[in-house]
A and B are shown apart, each in its own frame.
Chain A
Amino acid sequence: MELLYAITLGVLTTCGVYLLLRARTFTVILGLTLLSHAVNLYLFASGRLVAGAPAIVGLTGRSADPLPQALVLTAIVIGFAMTAFVVVLALKAAVELRNDHVDGENPDEDRA
């Protein structure tokens, strides 16, 4: 399970960073979303991966660490709000600046 988990994290982060470095706001937002997924999974794994164990201490012999789950929950809520905000901001910028380049102007179009 650890190997699969690590590969998933790696692929998500790679795709996130690649998309984050693109020049269009939509792909950048997609990149940020993928990156935040990767980060949430990473936080979750920081409490060690256990299968079939409840997150309540003392219920059974084995239990999962409940704290990272709480942290991930907080991070998901914040990440969700931020994504919603940045989508609206990108739309606003695209309408006002008449293009969706992250710098607000497209160097290629200006040259032509």
Chain B
Amino acid sequence: MNHALILPILLPLITGAGQLLFYQAPFALQRLLGFASTFWLVLLGIWCLQIAGSGEHVLYHAGDWPAPFGIVLVLDRLSAIMLALTAVLGFCCLLYASSGSDKRGAHFHALFQFQLAGLNGAFLTGDLFNLFVFFEILLIASYALLLHGGGRARSRAGLHYVIINLAGSALFLIALGTLYGLTGTLNMADLALRVADAPPGDAPLLAAASLVLLVVFGIKAAILPLLFWLPRAYSAASAPVAALFAIMTKVGIYAILRVFLLVFALGETPVSETAWGWLWPLALLTLALGGVGVLGSNSLRTLTAYLVILSVGTLLATISFATEASLGAALFYLIHSTGMTAVFFLLADLLGQQREEGYDRFSATGPIGHRWLLGSLFFIAAIAMVGLPPFSGFVSKAWILQASAQEPQGFWLWGVLLAAALLTLIALSRTGSSWFWRPGEMASPYPLERGPLTLVSFMVGLNGLLAVFGEPVMGYLELTAEQLLNPQAYITAVLPEATAAGQEISP
């Protein structure tokens, strides 16, 4: 058993607790601790990618209790990708925050670490109740981070965000109680076996539990009827926090993948079929609403929040085909969209600080400082966001379209996805021309900080690199999709004895 597997959870947890205990220590020291911890998380993420790349499931039994009884952490390719993505995104957000916005409220760095601990835990755990606990950890940290900096808009958005997530937590527990009452276990692998063997009389209750879970993860991921908290919350949060929140909707998507491709996927008529049936139309509607919202937003941050919704719709629509090609394409798009929405939240702050009036609102048309430099950056970032070559958005969308072309319903996705991309293109070019082109040069521009500018350029560069190294990445993602569609391997890894016994009995 490799004890390093629990480090992605323990490291930020201990760092955060330390920062909380010694909050009177110099601020520079707190920052340094945060950087050190996040940097190690990036290294750990790369290490996880490597050891998961062999295709084996790496296990960690907490307290050395055997699997269905104790809590087990499972690292497979999907978890490794999510861990690495979170670590890189967290590192960039922390660097950006250190340009000054981390001083606008108390305990930013400690909360940031707790948030990372919750995220990493949710990606690693192999137990549904444990998933609930890590959801709560990441949520309570996100409540406080959302309010970081204070102000009326944040209090108002925070109240909605907290209340809907508390209701979601209650639903999560109801689903868990139902599942435990029916099967007597909450370990995901064990649950998958028991759900597959459940008597037909239990099927309606199991379907109900699976749909309640879909609602819970739908709140986190922001699927259509459950997404109205998102634009306000994301556009009210401070820039680095909103950029980190780009991964939060992806936690919901990760949980949907995990639960509906593993726990409810086995048996002759899998329970997950009902959920997939709901997911497809809702995802398309989410995608369409995201496109309309992008065009109708009144500020760059709201626009980016709708871009998040658009990406969620695209992802879930692609995932709901549940084929190897579509899952691989969806994961590529997940990496691209998480990075680019984060870039746009940071960019909105960077540009807003240089504008004479209105911060990031579209109604204000005052001049902007350093317009050649910032304009070029915005132009390149917009190209990457919309999905034009040579950036990874193009690769991911081409792959999604290719994968969905083989499906009978794929033409719906083609239509909605391309129309939404066109709307995004129009909205972003309108922003660019009204901010950089129309107004004249600013007489005395505000000083431009080098650090944040370099960081945002670096993140856009990373997106380009993802396209350059598209082939090895796509290879890794195809193997990930293959692993996801083979839940039996996960179950054999977690419960070697149960599967062996089952195989002896069945012939």
Interface string of B162-187 (1 = CB under 8 A from A): 11001101100110111011000000
Other-chain residue from B129, B133, B174, B180 in contact with A39 (beta carbon distance below 8 A)? B174
User: What are 28 of the A-B contact pairs (CB < 8 Å)?
Assistant: A25-B159, A32-B163, A36-B166, A36-B170, A38-B170, A43-B176, A43-B180, A46-B178, A71-B180, A74-B129, A75-B173, A78-B136, A82-B166, A85-B143, A85-B162, A86-B166, A89-B143, A89-B147, A89-B155, A89-B162, A93-B158, A93-B159, A96-B151, A96-B152, A96-B155, A97-B152, A103-B156, A104-B156
Q: How far is the CA of A74 from the CA of B156 in the complex (A)?
A: 29
Contact of A78 among B133, B147, B152, B167 (CB under 8 A): B133
**Which residue in A28, A39, A74, A92 is a CB contact (below 8 Å) of B170?**
A39
Q: Contact at B177–A89, with CB atoms within 8 Å? A: no
B129/A93 in contact, CB under 8 A: no
- Chain A residues near B170: list those with CB within 8 A: 32, 35-36, 38-39
Q: Give Cα distance in the complex from A74 to B172, angstroms.
A: 14
Known: A96-B152, A96-B155. A39 touches B163 (CB 8 A): no
**With known contacts A81-B140, A93-B156, A102–B173 Cβ distance under 8 A:** no
Taking CB atoms, residues of chain A closer than 8 Å to B160 are 102
* In the complex, the 5 A-B pairs of residues with the closest C-beta atoms, listed nearest first: A46-B181, A104-B156, A46-B177, A93-B155, A43-B177
Please report whether the interface of chain B is mostly helix, strand, loop or mixed according to DSSP.
Answer: helix
A67 within 8 A of partner (CB): yes
Report B-chain residues with C-beta under 8 Å of the C-beta of A42.
173-174, 177
Number of interface residues of A (CB under 8 A): 35
Q: Which of A82-112 contact B (CB under 8 A)?
A: 82, 85-86, 89-90, 92-93, 96-97, 102-104
**Residue in contact with B167 in the complex, picked from A32, A38, A47, CB distance below 8 Å:** A32
Looking at the assembled complex, report how far the CB atom of B16 sits from the nearest CB atom of chain A, in whole angstroms: 16
Q: Which residue of B has the minimal Cβ distance to A41?
A: B177
Instruction: Please provide the chain A residues from 60 to 85 with a CB less than 8 Å away from any CB of chain B in the complex.
Output: 67-68, 71, 74-75, 78-79, 81-82, 85
Is the beta-carbon distance between B156 and A97 smaller than 8 angstroms? Answer: yes
